[in-house]
Chains A and B, each alone.
Chain A
Amino acid sequence: DAGVIQSPRHEVTEMGQEVTLRCKPISGHNSLFWYRQTMMRGLELLIYFNNNVPIDDSGMPEDRFSAKMPNASFSTLKIQPSEPRDSAVYFCASSSGGSNTGELFFGEGSRLTVL
């Protein structure tokens, strides 16, 4: 398996633009997580899905953020409109048993810069 695949790896955009980050989890994993990493706040869980269903989105900063998982092999994290404070590395991770029971496999991350 190629592991968790994220795209784009790097995105530079201007304030107000829509940003869409994509993730393909490891085949067979039934849990998917979106994390945001910044120097100030560390690794923050934004939202996670079990069997394609959003379980907890309490970490989503505000209504500008939305996430979907239309099927077991694809998820998106959308920011609309983007703001400079959204600049961060966004990681997608998947696991076969939820975050509390086994290993999280992270993608390589999407580094977002909002000017």
Chain B
Amino acid sequence: GENVEQHPSTLSVQEGDSAVIKCTYSDSASNYFPWYKQELGKRPQLIIDIRSNVGEKKDQRIAVTLNKTAKHFSLHITETQPEDSAVYFCAAPFTGGGNKLTFGTGTQLKVEL
């Protein structure tokens, strides 16, 4: 199946700094890479996604980059704010298994004042 590795597991930044979370995947045929944010005690929610036909996508302070050759993609959050504190999950589909989504292990981001 798809193997998705996510780093780091925890990340602490000062308010206003940037945060970068990285993921690698194993299925070279994967073509869809979403990122989910989960606040404490809440449900995961999609914040941004990217398809394999582009290398970068931005949405205000959030951006995702994709390197298909290296099979890795990253989440970039600029000008971090306290409300960005949450667990972030990357995911990738396993194309040989009905395209089911495999999630990374999550990154606990803490934005300190």
Interface residues of A (CB under 8 A from B): 42-43, 45, 48, 55-56, 58, 91, 98-101, 103-104, 106-109
Contact = CB atoms under 8 A, between A and B. Distances in A.
B100 A43 contact: no
15 contacts: A42-B106, A43-B89, A58-B97, A91-B43, A98-B99, A99-B99, A99-B101, A100-B31, A100-B93, A100-B100, A101-B99, A104-B34, A104-B46, A104-B101, A106-B43
Chain B interface size range? 20 to 34
Contacts of B106: 42-43
Contact of A48 (B36, B100, B104, B105): B100
Contact of A56 (B42, B43, B97): B97
Contacts of B46: 103-104
A64 B9 CA distance: 32
A42 B103 contact: yes
B100 A103 contact: no
Contact of A45 (B32, B100, B105): B100
B18 interface: no
Contacts of A107: 43
Interface string B40-81: 001111100100000000000000000000000000000000
Interface in B93-113: 93, 95, 97-106
